Chains A and B, each alone.
Chain A
């Protein structure tokens, strides 16, 4: 019974990520690539995303401190960040990236800065939620295996 409850909890956690708009269909595409030989593929990809994009975020932060702003460079960085975010289905992050690029096109520095703060916020929130989800997913089966029989 407890094992089923745990599975249900993990399932509810996962569904809420979609219902609350944090993830989109692309995340499901990644899940479909998991199998017995690659049971943690999604977690590996998400880990890679957060590792690689942290460097991009730093570059964007530094670029936003320059005066005058180089909107071409900012757009290039954000194109990469948006691309990676899209690849893991990070829906809200992707939306902020799109908005940022719109501000770049019209040379709106304040808009870029404001939107980037929001993008980082969504990025961090998603990271926390995904970490919790993956932890719950991992801890379910092994906990069951450790539970002594009655």
Chain B
């Protein structure tokens, strides 16, 4: 039987709290960039981050992600989709790393072959999660931000 929805926010916060005690406090100070061409995913990922008190911005492709960094903005966390028009996630990740961007970049993709995943990781990812992104997956990414921060 599927569980009823109650207190999942507490469950998420417990998950975030499972790491170092300061992680919960940190999540409200983290800034994030959502890079995805799909408006549905943009909406969901934006809400997932909002729900954790993470200030976030949304862009529609890799080029916009690069441009927003060129404008002087910086983010602690970048959620990067792989398949996007204009500039895909692999190219964007490589470009950002070449620019010296050291943010934690988590690839979030529906691609599931090992080869595609490996190519994305080798472009410079710190983490990779398969879509759809969930609160649990996001919590595991946030733990990495704390460890690397």
B60 to chain A, nearest CB (A): 13
- Once the chains bind, are A30 and B38 in contact (CB under 8 Å)? no
B135 interfacial contact with A, CB 8 Å:
yes
Q: Which of A25, A41, A49, A79 contacts B110 (CB 8 A)?
A: A79
Minimum C-beta distance from B139 to chain A (A): 12
Known: A28-B3, A29-B132, A33-B51. A82 touches B44 (CB 8 A): no
Whether B5 is near chain A, meaning CB under 8 Å from some CB there, is yes
Tell me the nearest residue of chain A to B11, going by C-beta: A32
Contact residues, B7-51 vs A (CB, 8 A): 8-9, 12, 38-41, 43-44, 47-48, 51
Q: Is the CB of B132 within 8 A of A87?
A: yes
Are the C-beta atoms of B9 and A88 separated by less than 8 Å? no
B126 at the interface (CB under 8 A from A): no
Interfacial chain A residues near B44, Cβ < 8 Å: 30, 33, 45, 87
Let me know if A33 and B5 touch, CB within 8 A.
no
The size class of the interface chain B forms with chain A is: 20 to 34
CB contacts under 8 Å to B, within A21-62, are 25-26, 28-33, 35, 38, 41, 44-45, 48-49, 52
Query: Do B5 and A88 have beta carbons less than 8 Å apart?
Result: no
CB distance from B74 to the nearest CB of A (A): 27
Residue of B3, B83, B135 near A79 (CB, 8 A) is: B83
Q: Are B132 and A80 in contact (CB under 8 A)?
A: no
> Is there a chain B Cβ closer than 8 Å to A115's Cβ?
no
Q: Give bound CA distance, A26 to B135, whole Å.
A: 11
The answer, yes or no, to whether A9 is at the interface (CB within 8 Å) is: no
Interface membership of chain B positions 66-104, coded 1 if the CB is closer than 8 angstroms to chain A and 0 otherwise: 000000000000000001000000000000000000000
A107 interfacial contact with B, CB 8 Å: no
Q: Contacts A86-B132, A87-B132 known; A52 to B39 CB distance under 8 Å?
A: yes
Contact residue among B9, B40, B110 (Cβ-Cβ distance under 8 Å from A48): B40
B134 at interface (Cβ–Cβ under 8 A)?
Answer: yes
| A84/B40 contact (C-beta < 8 A), A33-B47, A79-B83 known | yes
Contact call B40/A87, Cβ cutoff below 8 A: yes
Q: Are A86 and B2 in contact (CB under 8 A)?
A: no
The answer to whether A141 has its CB under 8 Å from any CB of chain B is no
Min CB gap A29→B, angstroms = 5
The answer to whether B2 touches A48, judged by C-beta atoms less than 8 angstroms apart, is no
Q: Which of A28, A45, A52, A82 contacts B5 (CB 8 A)?
A: A28
Of the A-B pairs whose beta carbons lie under 8 Å apart in the complex, a sample of 6, sorted by A's number, is A28-B5, A31-B5, A32-B8, A35-B9, A44-B43, A83-B38
Task: Name A residues whose Cβ lies closer than 8 Å to a Cβ of B.
Answer: 15, 18, 25-26, 28-33, 35, 38, 41, 44-45, 48-49, 52, 79-80, 82-84, 86-88
